[in-house]
Chain A
Amino acid sequence: MSSLVKISKEDVLEALQEVMDPEIPTISVVDLGIISEVNVSDNNFVSVIMTPTFSGCPALKYMENMVKEQIEKMQVSGVEVKTTFDKPWNTNMISAKGLEGLKKHGLAPPQKHTGLVQIEILQNVTCPHCGSKNTTLKSPFGPTLCRSLHYCNECLNAFEQFKPVD
């Protein structure tokens, strides 16, 4: 019989680095900023609190399950995953590594905002293909709730941004 090895919060977060956003496989749920809280009890029972990016995000239940399954691979006595709005998500919560992950997926990352997104910052988003700022917002709504559609007047490519949300 092996003795219980205490799992730390950091161990859980490290394991969750492998749980990727199902729609953007280059960013983990941790770097996306939707893991609000992780608690591990003395007997290795893990409770996780998540928060949705968008209220209508259809991937929410799916991601809860992915998180649960990933933690169950560890030496835990049980896992509970809950979603709340106690610490509401905004795009400033995406980590630096997460922003790089968005770029890798060909998306322009959201600009940092000061708590209030002004519509003007959606204009002239930097093109992820050529780096030009000579771009135009085509629509604030894209293929998923978190993306907007843009056009680069310099390299003549359409591109998407992970849009800023406050």
Chain B
Amino acid sequence: MAYNEQELAAVKEFLYKIADDQLIIGHRNSEWTGLGPLVEEDIAFSSIAQDKIGQAQHIYEILHNLGEADADTIAFTRDASLFKCCHLTEYPIGEYDFSLVRNFFFNHAEMLRFEMLASSSLEDLAKLAKKYRGEIKYHVMHSDTWIKQLGKANEESHNRMQAAVNNTINLALGIFEESDSADTLKSMGVFEGEKVLQSRWLETILPILESASLKLPESSNWQPAYGGRKGVHTEFLQPLIYEMGEVFRLDPKAEW
């Protein structure tokens, strides 16, 4: 498909946003490797990390075909201000309750986003979206299982999960920060928009939270953590990017 300048910029920004989210949350998930509270959880977080980073890589390859640098260069050498990930993905892993709740919020949004993108006019992305749905299904299953189990297990686990939900909701809402080029993407048939995604996301997560005896804070108190999509990030992103690129910078031409 031939794009005009405005369309090309809109598509690139959109692809960066999706892939950067996956790369950064993937790396955060990988930080549980060796630290998980159970060996199965160690493996689960490591596998989810591997999926998400692999998925990001294939989206970076689409960007490469659109004229951007190759996937490794994109992933490991950009300055934080060029990343388009949302703040939710950037935070350190914290306690296990936070990491589980973060994944719960993120995985559902990601699943629904790729369901929408499976019929996108951007064919290369639509192909990936169809593939990714089947993989992310297992990520969603993992987070739903723990949300339900810990939401109801005992008073301590319930209180910790509820506190994590309360502390994470604004970050999660930052996923849905609308881009200036939203109208362009919509008219091109690439993506219907973050508002549509956010309302589908709420419809999906509310019954699951309810079945786990957990509640979202009142919507009148929501203050979405926006900025990530515009390149404004938390203090946690730059050190992470630096760490991710450490080996790459030693020898950018190394064969793996």
Chain A positions near chain B (C-beta within 8 angstroms): 54-58, 61, 85-86, 88-90, 117, 119, 138-143, 145, 149, 163, 165-166
CB within 8 Å of A: which B56-106 residues: 57-58
Is there contact, CB below 8 Å, between A149 and B40?
yes
Partner of A54, one of B40, B43, B54: B54
Given contacts A141-B47, A141-B48, A143-B43, whether A54 and B135 have CB atoms under 8 Å apart is: yes
Q: Is B230 an interface residue (CB 8 A)?
A: no
Chain A contact surface mostly: loop
B residues adjacent to A (C-beta < 8 A): 40-41, 43-44, 46-48, 50-55, 57-58, 127-128, 130-135, 137-138, 141-142, 256
Interface of B is mostly: helix
From the candidates B40, B51, B130, B133, name the one contacting A145 in the complex (CB within 8 A): B51
Which 7 residue pairs spanning A and B have beta carbons closest together?
A56-B54, A141-B47, A139-B40, A141-B44, A55-B54, A56-B50, A85-B127
Q: In the bound complex, do residue B135 and residue A55 qualify as a contact, i.e. CB atoms below 8 Å apart?
A: yes
A47, chain B: closest CB distance, angstroms: 19
Ordered by A's residue number, 15 sampled pairs between the chains whose C-beta atoms are within 8 Å are: A55-B128, A55-B131, A56-B53, A56-B57, A88-B127, A88-B131, A117-B134, A119-B137, A138-B40, A139-B41, A140-B44, A141-B43, A143-B43, A145-B51, A149-B40
B133 and chain A: residue at smallest CB distance: A166
A113, B137: Cα distance in complex, Å: 15
14 additional contacts (CB under 8 A) given A55-B55, A141-B48: A54-B135, A55-B128, A56-B53, A56-B54, A57-B54, A85-B127, A86-B127, A117-B137, A119-B137, A140-B142, A141-B40, A141-B44, A141-B47, A149-B40
Contact B134 A165 (CB under 8 A): yes
Q: Closest Cβ of chain B: how far from A103's Cβ, in Å? A: 22
Nearest to A86 among chain B residues (CB) is B127
Q: Is the CB of A55 within 8 A of B51?
A: yes
| CB-defined contacts of A56 to chain B, threshold 8 Å | 50-55, 57, 135
Across the interface, name the chain B residue whose C-beta is closest to A142.
B43
| Closest chain A residue to B38, Cβ basis | A139
Residues of B contacting A88 with CB < 8 Å? Answer: 127, 130-131
Chain B residues near A142: list those with CB within 8 A.
43, 47
* Minimal Cβ-Cβ distance residue in B for A164: B134
